Structure 1
Amino acid sequence: MNLSETPADPLAAYRIAEQPYYRPSAREVALYEHAWRHRLPLLLKGPTGCGKTRFVEYMAWKLGRPLVTLACNEDMTAADLVGRYLLDTDGTRWHDGPLTLAVRHGAICYLDEVVEARQDTTVVIHPLTDARRMLPLDKKGELVHAHPDFQLIVSYNPGYQSSAKDLKPSTRQRFAALAFDYPPQEVETEIVAHEASITTELAARLVRLARRTRELRQQGLDEGVSTRMLIYAGQLMRDGVDPRDSCDMTMTQALTDDHDLAGALRALVDASFA
């Protein structure tokens, strides 16, 4: 497509055609729908791999809205969010960033692990999270008023909070919040069985193992085995990989480099698949 052309649907690439699999574990779907009704900016907090991103994908599909997702990192600049001038065949031309696209055209914008971005970058979202609902494009000299269907969602993992990586109160207090955790045992078993295409019995053994590892968070482990890791392990086992090798690849080696903690994790795996 020529850069001077405007696509008929600028958010076509962000529309979710098929229903993502999501198994609710509490009242999060109903609560989100109330937040959506008022287009409240929303903060999702919970451990890595517990289903926050899948939840957002499911809700975007359920509401029929495009979803613009950005994985935040410390190298992200404000221009990466809002846009910049670029050279093309006709000279210098402004290109909207993903946040600006969402604001103009009415998508849900999801900033994943927002605390990984520099605070001088995330302040650009402040005017979008109060009654103004607008995005200043300072370099372009334009003020973009949010489409009625625009909503901003951010997520982060409180387990990795530090003074260097935390949301400023001036940012945090602009959001309504939903707290996530790993699903109840029977729900997590159902999720792992479905996503890894394994038996319920094998999924249940993996979930019991994960719950034991999560107890090690009080003994030096930053986080226990996530639901995502269980799905990875289940997929390898489904392909015939030995359970101990599967767990070592997707859990032990991924979680720690500490010799003693790795030994404790392997002991739990051995007990689970004796």
Structure 2
Amino acid sequence: MTTTPEAEGLLHLQPGPDHVRTPATERLASRALAYLDAGFPVHFRGPAGSGKTKTALDLADRLGRPVLLLVGDASFDTAALVGRESGSRTRRVVDRYITSVMKVETETVPVWLDRALTVACAEGCTLVYDEFNRAPAAANNVLLTVLEERVLSLPKARGSDTAIRVHPNFRAIFTSNPEDHAGTEEAQDALLDRMVTIDLDGFDRDTEVAIAVARSGLDAEQAGRIVDLVRDFRLSREWTRRPTLRASVMIARLAKAQGLQVAAEEERFVEIVLDVLGSRVKPSAAGLPDPKHRQMLVRLVEHFCGPRLAGLPA
């Protein structure tokens, strides 16, 4: 998914050449679109690499409205969502109506700058709030009336419009990591109660293979071997950092770029697998790399990427 900037910070989404839609992603999108059409925000929750952001942006693209992307941050306050004063504007009027008299009037007023939530609510855009639980809960309180009463309350500093009715076309899509993930905050129940939460734990195998093919250029058979290897390692739980689809894509792209066969007897390919996945395996009791776990990776390569496939170049 690629984005094209438009006026006032809006984004126009355009599917990239490696964008993949499969029966599984279509079913998920159909569910989520039904919730959005009924007026409910959608919240995709899952660990890193589970496809939350990609799914959210694809969903926003399907809505066909301008998109504002907001990425949660620990430094956020309410102003980061709705806007704040940004400098000042000075107006100077020189009156020479009477040639012998010069009258000068100077007026300095603060300038208000709307941020993503205010623009989306006023213009009827789609707001994608990525990793919203990285922001402090207090910063997100302004969303409560937006999602329930469809009213956005704004500071008096903005001027006469201190409350605006949310545009009928406004839609909100949220993503978050589990609360035990580093850097996340506990999302308040009042906010979660206003949205439909869909838990994601990665894509199905066919979708992972399709994505690996699209992003690497390998054929489906070779990409499938890599995906199966990584998925099996994920299920083993013998890791400290969960291996995701990103690892499969990385291995596939490196193999393609170097013209390697996805085969256990291809020494350089085995080295790539160990380099990409080796840092994720559980260390020994002394905290050092455990040779037994690296041997487990070699065995996985041998199991899923066995002898050279017939018909492949030598």
Instruction: Mark yes or no: TM-score above 0.5.
Output: yes
Give the conservation status (yes or no) of the 8 Å contact 1:43–1:153. yes
Deviation per CA, 1:104-156: give whole Å up to 9, x if none. 112211121222111111112111121x1122112425112211111112111
RMSD: 2.9
User: 1:78 aligned to 2:78?
Assistant: yes
CA distance in 1, matches of 2:224, 2:64: 34
- Distance in 2 separating the partners of 1:64 and 1:262: 50
TM-score relative to the length of structure 1: 0.82
1:269 maps to amino acid: L
SS in 1 for 2:13: coil
Correspondent of 2:190 among 161, 170, 176: 170
Cα deviation 1:168-216 (Å, max 9, x = unaligned): 2122111112222222222211221112222222211221122222224
Aligned mate of 1:137, from 127, 133, 154: 154
Q: Which residue type is aligned with residue 62 of structure 2?
A: K
**Higher-helix-fraction structure:** 1
Deviation at 1:86, TM superposition (A): 0.8
Unaligned runs of 5+ in 2: 1-5, 91-108, 261-267, 303-314
Letter matched to residue 136 of structure 1:
S
- Pick aligned residue for 1:23 from 12, 21, 24: 21
Which residue of structure 1 aligns with residue 45 of structure 2? 45
> For the residues of structure 1 that align with 2:277 and 2:166, how far apart are their CA atoms?
42
Find the aligned partners of 1:195 and 1:167 in 2 and give their Cα distance.
Answer: 34
Give 1:168's aligned amino acid: Q
What is the one-letter code of the residue matched to 1:117? A
CA contact (8 A) 1:66 1:107 kept: yes
- Aligned pair in 2 of structure 1 residues 216, 18: CA closer, same or farther (>3 Å)? closer
Paired residue for 1:269, among 284, 287, 297? 297
User: Cα offset for 1:271?
Assistant: 2.5
1:101 corresponds, among 119, 127, 132, to 119
Shift of 1:103: 1.4
From 212, 215, 220, give the equivalent of 1:200: 220
Looking at structure 2, the residues matched to 69 and 134 of structure 1 have their Cα atoms a distance apart, in angstroms, of 20
Is 1:158 aligned with 2:156? no
Higher gyration radius (CA): 2
- Report whether the alignment pairs 1:232 with 2:250: yes
8 A contact 1:108–1:153 mirrored in 2: yes
Check 1:150–1:94 CA distance in 2 against 1; reply closer, same or farther (3 A cut).
Answer: same
Residue of structure 2 in register with 1:4 after alignment:
none
Equivalent pairs: percent with the same residue? Answer: 21
**Which residues of structure 1 form unaligned runs of 5+?**
1-8
Tell me the CA shift for residue 236 of structure 1. Answer: 2.0
SS in 1 for 2:84: strand
The alpha-carbon deviation at position 252 of structure 1 amounts to 3.6
Alignment of 1:48-127 (within 5 A): 48-87=48-87, 90=90, 92-127=110-145
**TM score, norm. by length of structure 2:** 0.73
Task: Check the 8 A contact 2:56/2:174 in 1, yes or no.
Answer: no
